[in-house]
Amino acid sequence: MVVLYDRFNLPDDIFEVIFATKQQEIVAKMLIDYMKQEGEEIGKTEMSLFATKLHDGELVGEIDDPQYRGKMVKISYNKRQFYDRILTPMKSMGLIDYDLYRKKYRISKKFNQDMMRIGLMWIQEVDKKPYSFVNTGEKKDSKKK
């Protein structure tokens, strides 16, 4: 997943930085809130039940959006798209960890560690000695006098 952001217009909400649509932001927030309620860790079965309830439109929750603030709203999101566009990117970015042996999903802090590592990679790139190169794009005039 590619995260593009404008450092001069950085939103206050991390989900706005990471996800492309408002619906994805809402679903990702709901997932993290659900995991927090369950002690920051849920099993494979609980994740599947969450995705199924989301798919069936059975999840009701408050949305942190001025239009819906203070109201309980039914949320629905396609189950396959939930796994493809929400859970898988969150796992690959280090926001959520999956323990293959215990079959548990856990909220992770690896995203922060990776962002710090990326920052260090940039500092190393800036400090590197530049490569020398020759501009071969100039056309040679064959009729020089």
- Domain spans in the chain, listed from the N-terminal domain onward: 7-127
Who contacts 6 (Cβ-Cβ below 8 Å, separation ≥6)? none
Predicted local distance difference test score (pLDDT) of residue 38: 94
The angle subtended at Cα 79 by Cα 73 and Cα 80, nearest 5°, is 145
Give me the tens of pLDDT residue by residue for the chain, a chain 145 residues long: 677 788 898 888 899 899 988 889 999 999 999 999 999 999 999 999 999 999 998 888 877 777 777 788 888 999 999 999 999 999 999 999 999 999 999 999 999 999 999 999 999 999 988 888 887 776 666 555 5
Q: Report the predicted TM-score, pTM, of the whole model to 2 decimal places.
A: 0.80
Predicted local distance difference test score (pLDDT) of residue 142: 56
Predicted local distance difference test score (pLDDT) of residue 20: 87
Predicted local distance difference test score (pLDDT) of residue 9: 87
- Neighbour-count burial for 1-23, b at 16+ CB within 10 Å, e otherwise: eeeeeeeeeeeeeebeebbeeee
Identify the three-state secondary structure at position 105: strand
Using CA atoms, how far apart are residues 25 and 107, in angstroms rounded to an integer? 16
Fold of the domain spanning 7-127: Arc Repressor Mutant, subunit A (1.10.10)
Using CA atoms, how far apart are residues 127 and 50, in angstroms rounded to an integer? 47
